[in-house]
Amino acid sequence: MKLKKSHNLSLDKYIDLSLYDKKNGYYIKKNSFGKDGDFITAPNISRLFSEMIAIWIVSFWQSLGAPRKFNLIELGAGNGEMMKVLIESFQNFPLFLKSCNLIIHEKSPSLIKIQKKKLIKTKIIWISKINELKKIPNIFIANEFFDAISIKQFRKKNNLWFEKFVNFEDKNKAFFFEKKIDIKKVERKINFKISQNQNFVEYSEQGLNYLKDICKIIKRSSGGLLLIDYGYTNGKMKNTLQAISNHKFANILENIGNVDITHNINFNFFKKFTKQMGGLENNLTTQKKFLIKMGIKQRAEIISKDQNFLKKADIYYRLKRLIDEKQMGNLFKFMLIKNQKNKFKLGF
């Protein structure tokens, strides 16, 4: 990527450049999913994960009154594995499948190519903007979508607030520095008192815009958002910025465009932010609790019944990765945002 004579960027702009630069952005030029990539997501660990999501989606559709036409939108579909298993599972529910417009919202042209190859015989629409959606019920699925959006960071020192910036005039010696800012201007922009009771603030402006737009769509034409991501529920925000390369932690300031930069979602903040929009209900649980309530253990028993020892061991090893508290079980959370009138709570 071309560098200007002086390169001072706010943290979110630096992350955006590193991940989504049109030529050299991390997500634009490579498939980072699976064994050969830098990380493995739950749908790539076991198809059981996506099967549980499929059952949940069909049940949620029924709670909306089984509308004859509705949109199912996956936000950031990765290598297309989840959508592939969802569609295979939906074959058991022909009325649901007939009613469903399958949609993927994806920014990366290289991932769209991979998704189209994997989902070659299915009628899927790819959209670049979610406000293009028709005014019919919309069910959004966001698995590890929000953690991949760039963030801003602010720190309070002696009652003054400072924003984190990156200087990479010399891209081999990039460094962080801080600029004094007016936090009230930031709060007016997002219409939320983000600095209240905080000494450190980490949030994604772009992520909040997505959240706001999705909530407006849900309020306008019913539906919901099932948000699956790693994160925490503390009232106090913390620095969760990290880079991953080859399944290991890497330096955020090195190898620009070749490492995945990510952060943990503060679900407490998401909850407060959606609450102030009014008319919406928010449910939150851990991945372990959600998947067990959806019957993942019983499903594992069924599919492993007539398998040999090695195949059985593999099924249960993968299941453990998904639900064990020391692995993904507690770190990953499931959040459901829907209209208050809808009392649906399956999995929560």
CATH of the domain at 40: 3.40.50.12710
In a domain, 348, yes or no: no
In a domain, 143, yes or no: yes
In a domain, 90, yes or no: yes
In a domain, 170, yes or no: no
> Cβ neighbours of residue 57 under 8 Å, at least 6 residues apart?
72, 86, 139, 141, 226
Count other Cβ atoms within 10 Å, centred on residue 177: 11
In a domain, 191, yes or no: no
- What tens-digit pLDDT sequence spans the chain (348 residues)? 444 555 788 999 999 888 887 777 887 765 555 455 545 789 889 999 999 999 999 999 999 999 999 999 999 998 999 999 999 999 999 999 999 999 999 988 888 999 999 998 788 999 999 988 888 999 999 999 999 899 999 999 999 999 999 998 777 788 999 999 999 999 999 999 999 999 999 999 999 999 999 999 999 989 999 999 999 999 999 999 998 877 778 888 887 778 889 999 999 999 999 999 899 999 999 999 999 999 999 999 998 898 899 999 999 999 999 999 989 999 999 999 999 999 999 999
In a domain, 266, yes or no: yes
Q: Choose among 251, 219, 25, 250: nearest CA to 137.
A: 219
Question: Hey, what amino acid is at 322?
Answer: L
> Which range marks the domain in which residue 39 is found?
8-150+203-339
Q: Choose among 262, 271, 194: nearest CA to 230.
A: 262
In a domain, 98, yes or no: yes
In a domain, 169, yes or no: no
Task: Annotate the chain with three-state secondary structure.
Answer: CCCCCCCEEEHHHHHHHHHHCCCCCHHHHCCCECCCCCECCHHHHCHHHHHHHHHHHHHHHHHCCCCCCEEEEEECCCCCHHHHHHHHHHCCCHHHHHHEEEEEECCCHHHHHHHHHHCCCCCEEEECCHHHCCCCCEEEEEECCHHHCCCEEEEEECCEEEEEEEECCCCCCCEEEEEEECHHHHHHHHCCCCCCCCCEEEECHHHHHHHHHHHHHHHHHCEEEEEEEEEECCCCCCCCCEEEECCEEECCCCCCCCCEEECCEEHHHHHHHHHCCCCEEEEEEEHHHHHHHCCHHHHHHHHHCCCCHHHHHHHHHHHHHHHCCCCCCCCEEEEEEEECCCCCCCCC
User: What is the pTM assigned to this prediction?
Assistant: 0.92
Indicate the number of domains in the chain.
1
